[in-house]
Amino acid sequence: MAEMTSYERVMTVLRREEPDRVPHFEWLISRNVREALCPGCKTHNEFAAKMDHDVILVSPDFKKEQVAEDRFLTEWGYTVEYGAEEHGVEVESPIATMDDLQSYTPPDLHAPGRYDSIEKAVAEWKGKKAIGCHLNDVFSIPRYLMGMENLLMATACDTDLVSGLVRLSIDMNCEMVKEVAKRGVDFVWTGDDYAYTSGPLMSPDQFRELFYPGLCEVSAAFAAQGLPFVKHTDGDLWKILDMIIDSGISCLDPIDPISNMDIAEVKAKYGDRVAVKGNVDCAETLTFGTVEQVVEETKEALRKGMPGGGYICSSSNSIHSAVNPELYKAMCDTIREFGVYPMKI
């Protein structure tokens, strides 16, 4: 098979077809890992380019103001705290009641400069790397605006408030996808997590009532712009996975093995409808394992994910700060050596 560009490779996989080789990229790579492998790389995308990843990641530009040493007030009105990881955690949120929601003013999606980073990345990488844009679907924005604990309590005792927040998230993201599509991104991904290692964060009935209809609406809005939809959600999803697949997503990520998510089982059941991404354990193997263990686990993920195409090999979540850089490199090297079509592994 002729060698593809990264763009061609990723888009082929998202159509559930066989590329020349299995693509690789990560949603998040901790700065300490980036610095160990590519000293001087200042950004995720600079690192991705030097490591020959297949995707450049972008998002709309929202401002944040530093209010303490490790805390930032976002343009959305919630305060996020950063520790060792690249991704912060909301610690103060603006909405607790329906009155708060009714008086809440979200950011202006058409403010000057809102899509500058996207335009810059498209100008540099269009047609060479696949350009993935981070938006949200139905859970993260409600979580940021209420806080996780309060949101989960509200799913049981204030469903009108939850529904209002979900509606806000739907409307904002359905509008943003029009803007990012006009600027030339290639696919959308959302990181709204619905589960933890032992099951969903809410009951299947709550998910079906409060979140599933909105997920379908957002998925349809992405599709209407011609953009494949890569859905990231951690945890054991089996109790709600039919709904996630039925919503119309294009690819499921990260299929975490420590959360009872076997990629072979997922692909056997849903591989004719969605591509799959992930499955190399970042909690244990990429953090505490040996090079030999990483090589074998990566090869096993390739054996399960590659047949018939439609597979992106990556970690089971992200390359967080505790991941051993040497082990992450071993995974990347194994993907490049053994993730070649036609399959020989």
Q: Report how far residue 77's alpha carbon sits from residue 171's, in angstroms, rounded to the nearest whole number.
A: 18
Q: In DSSP terms, which residues pair with 135 in a beta bridge?
A: 190
Residue 3 has what pLDDT? 95
- Residue pair 90/102 in contact (Cβ under 8 Å)? The answer is no
Give ranges for CATH 3.20.20.210 in the chain.
Answer: 57-63+95-251
Q: What CATH fold (topology level) applies to the domain 57-63+95-251?
A: TIM Barrel (3.20.20)
Q: Does the global pTM surpass 0.85?
A: yes
The pairs formed by 212-215 with CB atoms below 8 angstroms and a separation of 24 or more are 212/240, 212/243, 212/247, 214/137, 214/138, 214/166, 214/167, 214/169, 214/170, 215/137, 215/138, 215/243, 215/244, 215/247
10-residue stretch averages of pLDDT, the chain, 345 residues long:
95 98 97 97 96 98 96 98 91 98 98 98 98 98 98 97 98 98 98 96 98 98 98 97 98 97 97 98 98 98 98 98 98 98 93
